[in-house]
Chains A and B, each alone.
Chain A
């Protein structure tokens, strides 16, 4: 690792260490047993996170995602609206089933080459990457293994794998379509130089013309993945926990890939895993203080109407997610949600899980720092050296995203409240 890279990583590791230290001091000061905290610690969430990243590496080694991205580039013919729609949908579907950060990072190189080829401006960069960020969040929330908050929900016991999947996937798909529809209205095709775009796409194709997808490995891995999904859906968690199914599936996938002589990228980026581990620890400590149960009780007594109570919790969760990040929000608010599912909403816990997931998702689209993918995406965009027709360098950072983030939040939040209201009414 270079000196510069180590220097840039220090603040994140400092943050993790601080969270662990502060949480431990808090627990000791409040006389909370660390042993008890660790008994309730959700190691299963971390195992599933690590295993799904390994599985994503297996899929990415096959070249399948690059090939699909290239196909999209050709189909789009450099049309900016088509690029937005097609790449947006790709990000949604890939994020639903694979680690969303890894998925975005695989697709980005082809996106950058295509954007450089078609001629873009700052407005398009803002819209395009705002959509990509929001859609990686909605994709991640649409399946029980798509992202960290979804995994936490699945492990909490308030809903089952199948109940979450059958509700969340169409729910977040509708929200994604709404987001894409909204943003494509703002895309204008100023440059009609089709031949130049066609040449650029031909050159892009040449850069990837010999990338072969190992179809045998892809089919095998997809089969293993489908079987994992089936097992998660039908095997009760108390007989075979989901993390064991994930681990088994991943190990079988690795063995199969090795037998098929596929080179595997075996590295796992432990920084997000350790960050989440620190959030989980802090959330556990806070949960053991009882403050969250008190908060839930107070909310219930303040707002007697269950529907208004749900909306209030959704807004509160989304704002916590927006301000502090999806990870901390998911960990911190989970005990409140569990308590409410055991009391006020005990007959509708499946939809409450979706409401909770959608609030976290909406919040994580509010600011660039709210989602883990935000800063990673920004760093990659700024390093890609995108330029406009006047050769001015284009960037994408917190201030560029602010206006788009608010729109993403409003669309996701309002649609979520509406759809949940309709679901509970029906």
Chain B
């Protein structure tokens, strides 16, 4: 089971939603936790709802996401009148097949567009847009995947709000590969 590839294709929140179905199976959770941090209680749905409310409060019409989070994207699509454009940045480490799967897995007739890493979406302006990053939190640090960290550095010159959504409410200590801890204050304006 390659959880890392799954995270790249469907995002942390959707992965957590599926893992939560097996929250009582300790041995399975032990197995999965060797690859990614996992929730210890069923809270992802509330996290998504809360994140959505906070994003709507910011009153921005464009959301630039640095990873493909289909659970949150599906939620945002319910508010097309408020969030007019969702732009997802695709990591250059994704294979052609993964990119194809990601693009096909977006609901049809949605306002979601994709750009490749290193490109810059022209419609993103500080007054009407936010950058959205998802990961985990440990104290004053945010924990993101390697791919996401690279993009956080790439787009850190953006003058608008940079928002971080924590996908697990508890603090997470990294013991898995492919994750990096970064100082929250240096990179993000809002932690949800």
Contact = CB atoms under 8 A, between A and B. Distances in A.
A210 B9 CA distance: 13
Contacts of B53: none
Interface in B104-156: 104-108
Q: Is the interface of B mostly helix, strand, loop or mixed?
A: helix
Given A116-B1, A199-B28, A207 B22 contact: no
Nearest to B24: A195
Contact of A209 (B6, B28, B105): B105
A117 B106 CA distance: 23
Contacts of B97: 109
B101 A109 contact: yes
Contacts of B28: 193, 195-196, 199
Given A195-B22, A195-B25, A199-B22, A208 B1 contact: no
B106 A206 contact: no
Interface of B: 1-3, 6, 9-10, 14-15, 17-19, 21-22, 25, 28, 31-32, 70, 74, 97, 101, 104-108
Q: Which 3 A-B pairs have the closest CB atoms?
A: A202-B18, A206-B10, A210-B105
Contact of A211 (B25, B74, B105): B105
Contact of A212 (B21, B74, B108): B108
Contact count band on A: 10 to 19
Contact of A202 (B9, B21, B31, B104): B21
A200 B32 CA distance: 11
A109 B95 CA distance: 12
A390 to B, nearest CB: 15
A203 interface: yes
Given A117-B1, A210-B107, 6 more contacts: A109-B101, A198-B22, A207-B6, A207-B9, A207-B105, A210-B105
Interface of A: 63, 109, 116-117, 193, 195-196, 198-200, 202-203, 206-212
9 contacts: A195-B28, A200-B1, A203-B15, A207-B9, A210-B70, A210-B74, A210-B105, A210-B106, A211-B105
Nearest to B110: A210
A199 B105 contact: no
Contacts of A211: 104-105
Given A207-B10, A212-B108, A199 B19 contact: yes
Contact of B31 (A63, A196, A203, A212): A196
A195 B19 CA distance: 11
Contacts of B18: 199, 202-203, 206
Nearest to B106: A210
Contact of A206 (B14, B25, B31): B14
A208 B142 CA distance: 29
B52 to A, nearest CB: 18
A73 to B, nearest CB: 14
A48 B121 CA distance: 45
